[in-house]
Structure 1
Amino acid sequence: MIERFSSRGTIMPMHLETITAADLDWQEQALCAQTGADFFFPEPGSSVREAKRICAMCEMRPACLDYALSNDERFGVWGGLSEKERLGLRRARE
């Protein structure tokens, strides 16, 4: 068991769980699955504007962002947020 702090500052137990195929069903329905990874994992310094535009239209955006934050995805655009934006969100939650 792993412990983490809740938003109220108390310690909450957290159990490690195995990610199953059912947990990732959202990926098949996501618009990024239909467009290719180039938009979502651009070269350093390249624009992520197109990826964010696609994410804004995607119904799977909340599941995607939750997955990225839960799995500490550090590269690419996930759930409509860049690496820096997700880092800022993680820091704000701490």
Structure 2
Amino acid sequence: MTVQRLDEPRSPLRWTARAACQDADPGLFFPIVWDDQAGQRAEQARSICRACPVQAICLDWALRTGEPDGMWGGTTPEERRRIRTRQAQATA
């Protein structure tokens, strides 16, 4: 018989607890528009992502799940669409 501790996180997103954006303003990562003030909001979010210890995991998760919104792994939704398109073309 296996016993699982109830306080042990089992979420597939447990890596988010180590994310640099954990305490940042969510509005930076989920804005209504990305092209404000010459992309200032996107650049602020990217600067947090660049210093993040789980940036690669975050981007991989967003690409695998098809996350349609927000800044994930330092990429905007449009950037992720382009990455997925290139990946699909490479495997075709």
Q: TM-score, normalised by structure 2?
A: 0.74
2:20 maps to 31
Q: Percent identity?
A: 32
Question: Which runs of 5 or more structure 2 residues have no equivalent in the other structure?
Answer: 1-9
Q: Highest CA radius of gyration, 1 or 2? A: 2
Structure with a larger share of its residues in helix: 2
The CA RMSD measured in Å over matched residues stands at 1.2
Superposition misfits of 4+ residues, deviation over 4 angstroms: none
Aligned residues: 74
1:53 to 38, 42, 47: 47
Please state which structure has a larger fraction of its residues in strand.
1
Q: Does 1:63 align with 2:52?
A: no
Uncovered stretches (5+) of structure 1, i.e. residues with no partner:
1-19
Provide the residue aligned with 1:86 in structure 2. Answer: 80
